[in-house]
Amino acid sequence: MQIPAYAAANLLQRWFTGDVHTKQKGDRKMNILVINCGSSSLKYQLINSESEEVLAKGLCERIGIDGSCITHQPKGGEKVKTEIAMPTHTQAVAAVIEKLTDEKVGVVKSLAEIDAVGHRIVHGGEKFASSVVIDAEVMKAIEDCNDLAPLHNPANLIGINSCKEIMPDVPMVAVFDTAFHQTMPKKAYLYGLPYEYYEKYKVRRYGFHGTSHDFVSNRVAEIMGRKREDLKIIVCHLGNGASVSAVKNGKCVDTSMGLTPLEGLIMGTRSGDIDPAIVSFLADKEGKTADEIINICNKKSGVLGLSGGVSSDFRDLAQAAADGNEKADIALKTWAYHVAKYVGAYAAAMNGVDVIAFTAGVGENNVDARAEVCSYLGYLGVTINAEANKKRGEEVEISTPDSTTKVYVVPTDEELAIARETARLVK
């Protein structure tokens, strides 16, 4: 199934006019549509801000990858999974609108039922240290950061523009991934470059996935019955995009992503940490520009590149490795090794660690990936309960009772965090 552009436009117009007859909801206060566009996925939720009840939610997976699909679930209903071609985020947004207004599984009857829209924005640069109501100036500032987050900011803008076309009078809020990491000290966010480049161009480590790191670090403390301010927490946000953060006494003190989301861990299509001289070296050898090499680092590297092009999806890689593909196997092992190195680095940065939390698509669901990472952490007193580690997509402690450092799986809820910020700013 593929939704052409003209059909999507017609659908949106029907949504606006209330011509799509969907299920009627009960009394409500403030309903917020959250749009969360990632590099290869798009999450969405319609949330009542007062009760924090999710009226509908869904996930578009494998955007730009063969086998893409959307899973939609209205409140009280069953999940409906539909295979649909989504070569770009435009098609993904169209698929979301189609499900929200579907006669059988939709929950929105008219525009009047949506009070605000919250958008996840990856990079806000130095200008945005907190969430902000979106206007023309904000849109321009987000666009100006496109070169810092080439896989995400353009996708984020697609979501904004699609909503603005149909809902020009509905307030919209940008919630930035970079905000949570603004508590990092200079010793953590400065690079070993001439200081003038920070002064002139604000070249520094910003960090990303901040909404998730904030939510998960707070939630794992709640699960433990502790205050976040009393803990040393390492959050491993492991998806197609991936990052690790060190949260000490409630504040982020370091994180793996840098000026852009390219730094840090090996990811789905991103290289992560490399010798910067590789860029000019490969440019000379391949007859390419520096920009072209950076594009390769962003879109053709990571486990996709290491596996020889097998896939950027860890499920595909696991299957290929099981079938004897050596490149897929080494890609997975190299990825896990680098995650474990960052965990060790942040244990050193905080002079200890109380708890490690796995989250995001791979962290929440890939049993083997978690086990492989934790196999390096015995020196931290980590021992894993193999039976508990079999669980997927739910809150669970996967460490044994005698594990010195506790290890949890904590599903992230970036959408709820975004809805809270949106409600705070538009009330």
Q: Indicate which residues carry an active-site annotation.
A: 177
Q: Put residue 56 in one of left, alpha, beta given phi > 0 → left and psi -120 to 50 → alpha.
A: beta
Query: Cα–Cα–Cα angle for 299, 301, 305, nearest 5°?
Result: 125
Beta strands in 104-182 (DSSP E): 116-121, 132-133, 172-176
Contact yes or no for 35/56 (Cβ under 8 A)? no
Residue 367: which residues within 8 A CB-CB, separation 6 or more? 389, 390, 392
Pair 416, 52: CB distance under 8 Å? yes
| Angle formed by the axes of helices 136-144 and 153-166, nearest 10° | 160
User: Which among 163, 166, 180 has a CA at the least distance from the CA of 218?
Assistant: 180
Nearest to 181 by CA among 254, 232, 99: 254
Q: Is 343 exposed, middle or buried (0-12, 13-18, 19+ CB in 10 A)?
A: buried
Q: Token pair of 101, please?
A: 């207004």
CB distance 121 to 138 below 8 Å: no
Cα angle: 103, vertex 105, 107; to 5 degrees: 85
And the tokens for 115? 């009070």
**CA-angle at 64, arms to 150 and 412, nearest 5°:** 70
d(CA 214, CA 219): 9
C-alpha 305, offset from chain centre: 21
> 280 and 354 in contact (C-beta within 8 Å)?
no
Q: Which residues lie closer than 8 Å to 263 by C-beta, 6 or more apart? A: 205, 256, 257, 272, 273
Residue ranges of alpha helices (H) inside 101-135 are: none
Of the candidates 214, 168, 174, 120, the residue with the CA atom closest to the CA atom of residue 425: 174
Long-range contacts of the stretch 139-142 (C-beta < 8 A, 24+) = 142/174
